[in-house]
């Protein structure tokens, strides 16, 4: 059932842009292969349509956080390689994952054993990748436990329960190319690979690079790069990346609900945190933080209305926010572009991120709520 919302309030996703972006990135990182990361509903762009667009662009790997996301892709007909990396041991459908040939990630010997048990139940050999913590101090096997993990993986592989298809890790500071952690983590990853090889493991793929490092640090590419934000045409390291000709895939647009004059001294929205310094006009935009319009952008961000950027005035509310129309009175229904590629001068997701002192990942991933999603640039399956 579609979620009820304001007519004309929509997220427009350009699938041709995603295909283009994937093709460009694949050329940049070659001969390393490309994994398009489509976790979290493809960063708010829509899991299934984006996955199909990536496959149409020739992307051999898709990356998801959870096995459930991988199974959703399989239910919709995806037959390519899928890697999942974030599940809670004891609460994962390892049997189903093995049956549907989803590569699963293990951080611990307990996970390896549970995956092997699931594979036995499915009558399959599970595909497993081992993640080592090289310094992010998040997910992954601690370096001190790594020799025991690879030894267990080698034993279970020898028994035919699983096949170790990959070894990988994740960088903490790739958006800061000069940060010393990048070199330290790459060195630690090389050492972890040597331990795995000495234990008798020869994985199909070794991967460390994410979006920023895939471009900025060629030595981190190894056999495969995991690219998320770049696939959606956004910059993971503002101020550092060269212009690759990528195109932002998401546009958020709404209809103007009303416009009206206000006089000098009039407060706007909750708390009257903004007060008009002179007579002006304001417009009501029918979306708010329930749709993922960040409240932190109150009186800081801009939108595009009637050929101009218009500042947000006062606090962003749950269902609506107010913009300054500078004396103009556009008709109700006039389009309001919250953000888009920037072609017409409209703000971008990066502009909104800077207004909120956050990152564009958060802006696009959170957007939604009662807004409909519409796709353009589709290609026949």
Q: CA torsion angle for 116, 120, 125, 126 (degrees, to 10)?
A: -40
Q: Where are the alpha helices (DSSP H) in 83-210?
A: 94-99, 109-122, 146-158, 180-198
Contact 204, 230 (CB under 8 A): no
Comparing CA positions, the residue from 113, 81, 40 lying closest to residue 223 is: 81
> Which of 20, 18, 84 has its CA nearest to residue 51?
18
Q: C-alpha distances in angstroms, 7 versus 192, 257, 258?
A: 54, 11, 14
166 forms beta bridges with: 129, 205
CA-to-CA dists, residue 357 to 80, 143, 228, 274, 318, angstroms = 37, 34, 21, 20, 20
Clarify whether 43 is annotated catalytic. no
Q: Is the dihedral of CA 279, 283, 284, 285 positive or negative?
A: negative
Concerning whether 39 is annotated as a catalytic residue, the answer is: yes
Cis ω on the peptide bond leading into residue 203 (within 30° of 0)?
no
Annotated active-site residue in 39, 131, 289, 361: 39
CA atoms within 13 A on the CB side of 202: 2
Q: Is 239 exposed, middle or buried (0-12, 13-18, 19+ CB in 10 A)?
A: exposed
The catalytic position among 94, 232, 270, 375 is 270
Phi, psi of 80 (to 5 degrees): -85, -175
> What span, in angstroms and rounded, lies between the C-alpha atoms of 276 and 261?
11
Catalytic residues: 39, 270
């Amino acid at each position: 059932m579609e979620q009820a919302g304001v007519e004309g309030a929509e997220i427009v996703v350009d699938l041709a842009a995603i295909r283009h972006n994937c093709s460009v990135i694949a050329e940049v990182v070659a001969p390393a292969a490309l994994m398009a990361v489509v976790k979290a509903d493809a960063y708010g762009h829509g899991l299934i349509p984006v996955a199909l667009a990536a496959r149409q662009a020739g992307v051999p790997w898709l990356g998801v956080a959870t096995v459930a996301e991988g199974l959703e892709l399989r239910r919709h007909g995806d037959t390519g390689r899928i890697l999942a990396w974030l599940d809670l041991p004891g609460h994962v459908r390892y049997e189903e994952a093995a049956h549907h040939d989803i590569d699963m990630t293990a951080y611990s010997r307990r996970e390896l054993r549970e995956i092997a048990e699931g594979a036995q139940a499915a009558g399959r050999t599970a595909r497993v990748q081992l993640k080592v913590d090289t310094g992010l101090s998040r997910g992954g096997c601690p370096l001190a436990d790594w020799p025991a993990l690879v030894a267990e993986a080698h034993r279970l592989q020898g028994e035919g329960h699983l096949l170790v298809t990959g070894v990988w890790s994740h960088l903490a500071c790739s958006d800061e190319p000069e940060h010393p952690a990048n070199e330290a983590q790459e060195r630690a990853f090389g050492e972890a690979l040597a331990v795995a090889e000495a234990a008798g493991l020869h994985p199909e793929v070794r991967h460390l690079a994410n979006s920023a490092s895939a471009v900025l640090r060629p030595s981190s590419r190894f056999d495969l790069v995991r690219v998320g934000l770049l696939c959606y045409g956004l910059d993971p390291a503002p101020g550092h990346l060269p212009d690759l000709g990528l195109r932002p895939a998401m546009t958020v647009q709404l209809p103007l609900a009303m416009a009206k004059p206000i006089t000098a001294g009039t407060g706007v929205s909750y708390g009257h945190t903004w007060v008009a310094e002179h007579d002006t006009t304001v417009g009501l935009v029918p979306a708010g933080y329930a749709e993922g319009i960040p409240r932190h952008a109150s009186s800081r961000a801009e939108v595009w209305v009637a050929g101009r950027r218009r500042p947000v005035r006062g606090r962003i509310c749950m269902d609506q926010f107010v913009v300054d129309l500078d004396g103009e009175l556009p008709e109700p229904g006039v389009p309001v572009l919250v953000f888009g590629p920037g072609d017409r001068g409209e703000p971008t997701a990066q502009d909104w991120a800077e207004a909120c002192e956050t990152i564009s990942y958060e802006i696009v991933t959170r957007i939604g709520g009662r807004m409909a999603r519409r796709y353009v640039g589709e290609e026949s399956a």
